[in-house]
Chains A and B, each alone.
Chain A
C-alpha cells in the first residue's frame, strides 16, 4: 500500500474542501483524481504532498503516518499545473535543484541530470532557460525535476491543462509509457474524464469534496454508483417520467413502473450505445427523426428527436451507419435496450435493467 487516506477532511474556514475521504493507492499504480473544478481533488493532492495539512483524518505513505511530516521530508515529486519552473535557472539547474539541496556530490548530480535529460529527450536544452521552451518541453522539465531525487510518489496537478490539444494527446501516451518504464506510484489530477479513462489504472471521482467512486475506468463507466458518476463519465441520456396507471411516461416513451403511485416521478438514464436504431419504421417501438450526425472518427454520435420533442443521443460505428443507410433528416424507429432508474444525485443507482416494455413489441423487436 503506497498511499492511504483515512477519513481525511480539509476545511478552509467555513468551506469544506474535502469531506471525509478514504482511499488507498497501491505501489506502482497510476491513479487519476477526477472531478469538476472545486471538487477537492487538487486539495487532496496537495495534502498528500504536504503543501496542505488535513484538518482531520490520517494520511499514510508507505505505512508511515505523514500528517506531521513536513513537505521536504516526504520524498514526493510534485508537478504544478503551471509547472513552476525556476525562471532564473537553466533546465539543467532546475533538474539539479532537488539533488543540490539534498547535498548530492557534484559528479552524481551531473550523471543523474544527464540521465534524466536523455530519458526525457531534452539533451540539447540543458542550457536553456524556461522562457525559451515550448509548453510541452516545460512540462517535461517539470516532471524530470520532480523525478530527479527519486521520489516514492509522483503527484501531478492538471498535467495536461496548459498545453494545446494535439500535444496533450502525445503527452498522455508519453506519461503512460514513462510510468510503465519507471514504475513510480503516480497520482494526477484532471477534470477531463476522457483523459482519466485513457491514462489511469484506476480513477477516483470527486464531487463537492466527497469521494463518489473509485474503480478502474471500466468499472466507473459500466457500473457507476450514482447519477453524478454516470453523468460525469461518458454521455448519459436522462429522462424524467411521470407515473400513471402502473406506467411511467414522458412523451412517447413508456416503461413499466410497478409499485409506484400515480403522480410519482422517476428519472431514468441510459447510455447512447443502449439505443437501437433502424430505418425500418416498423422494427422498433418509437419513432423519431435523425436530426444530426456528429462524426467523431470511427464512432458517430446521433441526435434523435421524437414527435413529442424528446432528444435522444445514440452512437454507432461508421459501418453500421452506412449499412443502415442513415442520413440526417431521415425518419427512423428506435428502442432503448436497457436503462437505469436514477435516484437523486449522490444516492445509489438502481440496478441496470433490461428494458421490458408494457406492450408486446412489434414483430422483429430485437432486445
Chain B
C-alpha cells in the first residue's frame, strides 16, 4: 500500500533465497556467530549480574542504598527527565519542518542533526567546557551572574542533550516524509486548526516511530559517559551520574558496588531491548496488515 510508513523498523533483513549453503558451512557460520555473541555479549552481561550478586542479595542492596549511589541514580533520572522531553519536542519540530516544508538550509539542518552521531562525546563535552568554562567566552559573564554550568548539573544536562539530539528526529524524518502532508491538508480543509491537526492526525500516524526514538534517546541519556564525564567534575553525591558512579566505585576497588550500579544500567538496557522488540513486532504486524487488507476487500458491494 502506498504511503505505508517506511522506517528503519520495517527493513528487517530476510535471508536471501536460492542460496542454500551446505550443512557443514551453515553450521560453522551459525556456530561462529553464537560463540562470538556468547563470548563478547552474553558472558559479560551475565558476569555483571554474577559479580553484583556474588556476595549475596543483602550486600547487593546495601551497595545500592549507599547515599552517593542513590544520589547518582536520582541525578541520572533527573537528566533523562529533562533531556528526553526536550529532544522529543525538538525531534518532532525538526522532523516536521524537514518533512513538510521546503526551505533554504534544509540539507544543512539534516546534517547538523546527525552531528552528535559523528562527533566523539568527549569532544562534545570539551566544546561545552571551553565555551562555558572560566576561561571561555561565556564563562566570565556567567560567573558575574553566579551561574554555574561547568562541573554542575546544568553542564551534565547540556552534554546529555547534545549527544541525544539525533534519536527522535532521525527516526521521524523518513517516517514523516513517506506519510506526506495530504492528511494534514485534509484536516485543514475540514476546519481543523494547526494544533488539532498535529494532535489528531500527525502524531497518531508516527506514534510508534516516535516511541521507538524516545526509548533509544532515553537509553542513551541514562548511559552517556564521555561527554558527561568531561563536564561533571565527578563530585560524589552531587554531579555523578550512574555511569560515572560505576567508574568511581571501580577505581575505589569496590567491585560489588560498581557491579551493583552497573547491573541497574544493564537492566535498563534489557528493558529497552524488550520494548524495542515489542515495537518492531507491533509495527511489522501493522505493516503486514496494511498490505494484506486491500486484497481481501477488493470487491465492490
Q: Which residues of A contact B (CB under 8 A)?
A: 49-51, 71-73, 75-78, 80, 82, 84-89, 97-98, 101-102, 121, 129, 131-137, 145-146, 148-149, 167, 170
Contacts and interface: CB of A to CB of B under 8 A. Distances in A.
A97 B193 CA distance: 12
Contact of B186 (A80, A132, A135, A170): A80
B186 A133 contact: no
B190 A167 contact: no
Given A72-B191, A72-B193, A86 B301 contact: no
The secondary-structure label for the interface of chain B is helix
A86 B183 contact: yes
24 contacts: A49-B189, A51-B185, A51-B189, A71-B188, A72-B188, A73-B191, A75-B191, A76-B189, A78-B185, A78-B189, A82-B2, A82-B3, A85-B183, A86-B200, A98-B191, A101-B190, A131-B1, A131-B290, A131-B293, A134-B298, A134-B300, A135-B298, A137-B300, A146-B189
Given A84-B183, A101-B187, A137-B301, 15 more contacts: A71-B188, A72-B188, A72-B192, A72-B193, A73-B191, A82-B3, A85-B183, A85-B186, A86-B200, A86-B205, A97-B192, A101-B190, A102-B191, A131-B293, A146-B189
A101 B192 contact: yes
A86 B185 contact: no
Contacts, number: 92
B143 to A, nearest CB: 49
A86 to B, nearest CB: 6
A71 B196 contact: no
A136 B201 CA distance: 23
A71 B299 contact: no
Contact of A131 (B186, B187, B289): B289
Nearest to A145: B190
Contacts of A72: 188-189, 191-193
A134 B293 CA distance: 9
B204 interface: yes
Contacts of A89: 204
B244 to A, nearest CB: 42
Contacts of A129: 293
Given A121-B301, A134-B298, A134-B300, A101 B2 contact: no
B58 interface: no
B299 A134 contact: yes
A65 B201 CA distance: 30
B21 interface: no
Nearest to A77: B189
B293 A167 contact: no
B183 A87 contact: yes
B189 to A, nearest CB: 4
Given A82-B2, A84-B186, A131-B294, A101 B193 contact: yes
